[in-house]
Structure 1
Amino acid sequence: MLANRLKLFWALLGNQLWVRPTLWSLLSVAAVAVALHFGNSLMADGAPEVDVDTLSSMLTVIASTMLAICTFSLSVLYSVFSFVSAHASPRATPVIISDPKAHEAISSFIAAFIFSLVALIALGMEWFSPLGRFILLLEIVAVIALVLLALLRWLRTLGLFGKLTYTLDRVEDLTAEAMRAHRRDPWRGCRPGPERLPEGGLVCTLDGTGYVHYVDLKALQALAQEVDAVIHIRARAGMLVHPAFPAAVLFPPRVLSELQRAALVKAFSLNRDRVYAEDPRFGLAVLAEIAERAQSAEDPGTSIRSLDAVARVLMENFGRNEAALMDDTDHPVLYPLLTMVAVRPQDFVIDTFDVVARGKPRWEVQLHMQELLEALAASCVEPVAGAARKQAWRCWRRVAGEIPGRADLRRLQRMARATAAGAGEAFPAQGQTSSR
């Protein structure tokens, strides 16, 4: 249980921009210490004589250059964060903040600056022996090579950071990863839970308000064994909970001690914000928000690209061939005393396309959305296909009174009618249009 929490802690810590530069800076200080230690402890016979002024000049150039590059790089990152927040979505900013390319570049520059600064101080104090100065020279050459490599990769990354498509690709990758994990095991090792709360069970609530970030299933399994009951988990990762929300239900009901109650509450980690891991609905919601904002900002190209990302994630996980492979594989039950409610697959379709349909309609975006819903209805399994058919008609009804051209409106109506056939929707008579 402690190992799981430490793993989660390190995963969250690794996404912070300051962590890797801090570790690399400590390594740079350790490199100077290595030169001091081995230079003073090993025999210096035959070591090349390295001039102190030469080393000092090289370190001074590295320090001044790295300070300027660090300042420039951080200002670029700040501009990129502001751009993504304004033009894509504030929820997409953490994707750029956690980008490993940015972490690697900033870490290299700061570590080189710290290395040169510490080495200059040690040289000024005359702590280096002749062998130590030679080892320091080798380290300086290695640092210059690493910095040049990092600088070249950083220049390539800068060309990507300024593009909105790079942010979309990063959000899509994280969403697809979370969706694949969800499809492999929708119940996270628990048994499938009932849709309704068991009558007569002990309802357990949490003390705080926020989004469920992580559920310690091993701790809940141990608690269920201790009290000899089944725990029905109602609050899964990504859900908003509050003190009145039934996070878990024990059946048959058991009287919990204070320690057992505290253990149950501690098993649910809450956060103010949602995260992409274990929450594919959040990633799809961010893509839908980007599409809706781009549509309202007269940028149909970005909106269409974002909708394409949504369709790819759904087709790759709920396509007929992929779904057949998933169904043939039994989901492992690692926690037999726990049940969990799975996310309804149709909610993935409703949550995303509803957001775009409610925005300021653009003809190009609405046409492309009907094409994607037709593709989802034809290539995905139920209930995703059924949700796509219903959503096609719902989207058309939302924009029926806001598309100015009659010919364009009739074309959308024909596409929506063809996709929604068999969905049980009530269609108006041919030639009539629906008002919102």
Structure 2
Amino acid sequence: MLVGGLAVIAVPTAKLFGGVIPDGVSEKIGAEAVDALLTIIASSMLAVTTFSLSVMVSVYRSVASQWTPRAHRVQLKDTRTQTVLATFVGAYIYALLSIILLHTPFFSEGEIVVLFAMTIVVIVMIVATILRWVLHLQTFGSLEQTANTIRDDTQRAMHECVKHPALSANPLTPDVIIPADAITVRSERSGYIVRILTHALQTAATDCQGYIWLTVKPGDYVNQGEVIGHISGDIDTIKNAIKRFVDIGLHRDIPQDPEIGMVMLAEIGVKAMSPGVNDPGTAIWMMDRIMSVIYETPDQVSPTCDRVWMPVFELHRAFYTSVDLLARYCGGAVEVQQALFKRLGGVAHCDNPALAASARELGARLYARGQQCLPTDVDKQDIYKPDWI
């Protein structure tokens, strides 16, 4: 809405600089045309905004129906589209307010020149925005753009979750002893753990000299009344903090839960292998994106929230869940099976023992499915049991 804000500052700017504009400049540069320019901007921006909104809604529906319904929520965060719409609406507001102000006694000849210059700046911004919007529409909502957006969001989340496995809290491992007198905290509603603000919980626990042991992490599903943690200290204060800073919702979200991003990629591959589509290339493509995510392995950082404990993010579990989902529906495709064995073989020899074990188990399951699902003995002979299983 920066463009719309120009209309608000148009009057003081014109009053400030209008007095230094020499007489006759308005006629030389055609500043009298500002009224016509503003009318054109007002009428065209209303139409362009309506068109852009219809395109956006169509793309969102197409993404949800063609790829996976969960990808729709990822596209809603597209900042380019939001910026474009804000520019168009802002330009419309600027033109509308400027037309109103222009027909008031506020503007002299010199001040009209200032308004004309500001209008030229707005036109340049509109043209630049339209060009960016046209380039963005070339791939907006396509398979490549949707998959890359999910992968990029998942990579960022994976980087943070591997770097801070417990979101800067202490890892809640089996050897952690929760005091017997700790108070149990239960969920007030059913849903997914969307996000946990561990630093805010740390502040609340520090203020009342208490401790928090959460037994859930982002991505977990909890039922109403289910235990989600234990606390000590000022019970009411910490319970209110957990209610505020442990977000429970109907949908999983990628920023603290990269597993759902990997599952989205797998779902796109699964849909590509449905009988009505039968596109093994897309399934392989999605596997490649999952593989690019799991190799995001920065060094872990020591916990900074010493009064909060929670379960750690498990990379091997997220990998297993997403790849097994994809492999389960690709057992009858030789090309996809061969590609999966190739990728899993690399993971099976990685330095992460848990991840390597998951890859070996996935390979064994993939081979067993292939022997049952492949329709002919010729196809089965094309699948060799790897020595790393």
The question of a shared fold, defined as TM-score above 0.5 by the shorter chain, is answered with yes
> Structure 1 stretch 282-291 or stretch 210-219: which is displaced more?
210-219
Q: Does the 8 Å contact 1:295/1:365 carry over to 2?
A: no
TM-aligned CA deviation for residue 85 of structure 1: 0.6
**SS of 2:373's equivalent?**
coil
Q: Which residue of 1 aligns with 2:308?
A: 338
Q: Which amino acid aligns with 1:218?
A: H
Asked if residue 49 in structure 1 is aligned to residue 30 in structure 2, the reply is no
Letter in structure 1 aligned against 2:308: L
Q: How far 1:220 sits from its partner (Å)?
A: 2.9
Q: Could you tell me whether the CA contact under 8 Å between 2:41 and 2:92 is conserved in 1?
A: yes
**2:309 counterpart letter in structure 1:** T
* Partner in structure 1 of residue 347 of structure 2: 376
Distance 1:95 1:64 in 2: 32
Q: How far, CA to CA, are the matches of 2:147 and 2:354 in structure 1?
A: 27
- Deviation by residue 1:114-162 (Cα, 9 ceiling, x = unmatched): 2112111222334322232111111111011111111111111111115
1:308 aligns with 2:288: yes
Matched, 1:169 2:148: yes
Structure 1 residues 175 and 45, CA gap change in structure 2 (3 angstroms): closer
Q: Secondary structure at the match of 2:224?
A: coil
- Is the alpha carbon distance of 1:75 and 1:380 closer, same or farther for their aligned partners in structure 2, counting shifts above 3 Å? farther
Counterparts in 2 of 1:396-415, with a 5 A limit? Answer: 396-412=367-383, 414-415=384-385
Answer whether contact 1:35 1:132 (CA < 8 A) is retained.
no
Matches within 5 A, 1:130-209: 130-195=109-174, 198=178, 200=180, 201-209=182-190
Q: What do residues 338-393 of structure 1 show as CA deviations (whole Å, max 9, x unaligned)?
A: 22211233212210111112226433222211221112112352110111011011
Partner of 1:243: 224
What is the match of residue 245 of structure 2? 267
Residue deviations 1:269-292, cap 9 Å, x none? 222211110111111111111111
Q: Deviations over 1:296-354 (max 9, x none)?
A: 1312222111110001111333xxxx6xxx2xx6x322122222211233212210111
1: CA distance between counterparts of 2:355 and 2:241?
37
2:248 is paired with a residue whose SS is strand
What amino acid is the match of 2:339? H
Q: Of 121, 125, 129, which aligns to 2:104?
A: 125
Is contact 2:205-2:238 (8 Å) kept? Answer: no
Offset at residue 410 of structure 1 (A): 2.9
1:66: which partner in 2? 45
Say whether the 8 Å CA contact 1:81–1:96 is kept in structure 2. Answer: yes
User: For residues 160 and 233 of structure 2, what CA distance do their matches in structure 1 show?
Assistant: 35
AA of the residue aligned to 1:306: M
Query: Is the Cα contact below 8 Å between 2:165 and 2:313 reproduced in 1?
Result: yes
Q: CA deviation at 1:257?
A: 4.2
Q: Deviations over 1:244-269 (max 9, x none)?
A: 3221123xxx5854444333332312
| Fraction of identical pairs, as percent | 24
Letter in 2 for 1:31: L
Q: More deviation in 90-99 or 264-273? A: 264-273
Question: Do the aligned residues in 1 keep the contact of 2:155 with 2:293 (CA within 8 Å)?
Answer: yes
Structure 1 CA distance for aligned equivalents of residues 173 and 261 of structure 2: 26
> What is the CA-CA distance between 1:81 and the residue it aligns to?
0.9
* Alpha carbons 1:315, 1:376 under 8 Å: kept: no
CA contact (8 A) 1:44 1:130 kept: no
Partners in 2 of 1:87 and 1:29 — Cα distance?
36
User: Structure 2: which 5+ runs fail to align?
Assistant: none
Cα shift at 1:180: 0.6
Q: Return 5+ residue gaps in structure 1 as ranges.
A: 1-23, 421-436
Mapped to 2, the partners of 1:219 and 1:146 lie a distance apart of 40
Equivalences, count: 380
Partner of residue 258 from structure 2, selected from 280, 303, 315: 280
- Tell me, in whole angstroms, the C-alpha distance in 2 between the residues paired with 1:109 and 1:256: 51
Hey, what's the Cα distance between the residues in 2 that align with 1:142 and 1:255? 59
- Is the CA contact (8 Å cut-off) linking 1:66 and 1:113 kept in structure 2? yes
Name the Cα RMSD after superposition: 2.4
Q: Give the letter aligned to residue 387 of structure 2.
A: A
Q: Is the 8 A contact 1:171 1:287 kept in 2?
A: yes
- Give the match's secondary structure for 1:208: coil
What is residue 80 of structure 2 aligned with on the other side?
A: 101
Corresponding position of 1:231: 212
TM-score by length of 1: 0.80
Aligned equivalents of 2:222, 2:366: Cα separation in 1? 30
- CA deviation map 1:185-204 (0-9, x unaligned): 11222222123884734321
